[in-house]
């Protein structure tokens, strides 16, 4: 892997036994759930809040709320959608709290501070973020890396080949495979978070 491009970590399914354990509020299950869904929860919170420190608060709040509601969790349901819903609500609560924060002069705040930007976030795109993040987490690391280099960094096949030090044809085939898998995983972005 080229310097500056850490691999996107591989996805790991939480087992049914771990979900049952979470429903029973066994502490060991929290770690398993966080390791699988923590990044997804963080992505949702970061999309709403736009600040890492506040997003981290929201992630903690999300898992606390999930833990407190664990015995009502349907183990047959996809935990990703459930956690994304909680994360979005926790982040919106924090956004509102920060928007109400008193006594700091507006002139002292950054332009993107939630106290200045009091408009609610685009919740439709928040739903899309968690679904896309979920799909990315299910790609192989090399596939996710190429998707990121194309779409986040705007790199061409040739630039990616140079950066990764692999043949252009290899990048093209990986890129095609990654995009096909992503399309298959996402289908269309219709499910919304309550």
Picking from 73, 86, 61, 89, the residue whose alpha carbon sits closest to that of residue 29 is 73
Site residue total, other proteins (CB under 8 A): 64
Query: Is the CB of 15 or the CB of 158 nearer to other proteins?
Result: 158
The structure tokens listed for 54 are 């506040």
Closest separation in Å from C-beta 142 to other proteins: 15
One residue of 19, 59, 171, 193 binding other proteins per CB under 8 A: 59
Which range in 11-19, 37-45, 73-81, 82-90 contacts other proteins by CB under 8 A?
Answer: 37-45
Which range in 11-19, 25-33, 73-81, 82-90 contacts other proteins by CB under 8 A?
Answer: 25-33
One residue of 16, 71, 118, 192 binding other proteins per CB under 8 A: 71
Dihedral angle, C-alpha 165, 167, 172, 173, nearest 10 ° = -110
Q: What angle is formed at CA 43 by the lines to CA 6 and CA 79, rounded to 5 degrees?
A: 110
One residue of 19, 147, 164, 171 binding other proteins per CB under 8 A: 147
Please enumerate, as own/partner, the contacts of 9-15 that have beta carbons within 8 Å and a separation of 24 or more. 9/39, 9/141, 10/140, 10/141, 11/36, 11/137, 11/138, 11/139, 12/36, 14/79
One residue of 18, 39, 81, 83 binding other proteins per CB under 8 A: 39
């Amino acid at each position: 892997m080229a310097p500056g491009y850490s691999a996107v970590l591989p996805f790991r399914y939480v087992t049914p036994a771990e979900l049952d354990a979470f429903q029973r509020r066994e502490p060991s299950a929290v770690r398993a759930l966080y390791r699988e869904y923590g990044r997804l929860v963080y992505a949702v919170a970061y999309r709403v809040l736009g600040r890492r420190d506040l997003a981290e608060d929201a992630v903690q709040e999300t898992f606390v709320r999930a833990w407190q509601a664990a015995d009502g969790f349907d183990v047959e349901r996809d935990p990703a959608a459930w956690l994304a819903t909680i994360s979005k609500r926790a982040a919106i609560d924090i956004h509102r709290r920060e928007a109400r924060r008193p006594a700091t002069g507006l002139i002292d705040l950054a332009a993107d501070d939630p106290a200045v930007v009091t408009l609610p976030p685009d919740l439709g795109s928040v739903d899309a973020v968690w679904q896309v993040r979920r799909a990315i987490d299910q790609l192989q690391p090399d596939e996710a890396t190429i998707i990121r280099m194309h779409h986040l960094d705007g790199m061409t096949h040739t630039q990616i080949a140079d950066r990764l030090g692999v043949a252009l044809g290899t990048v093209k085939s990986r890129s095609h495979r990654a995009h096909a898998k992503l399309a298959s995983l996402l289908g269309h972005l219709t499910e919304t978070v309550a």
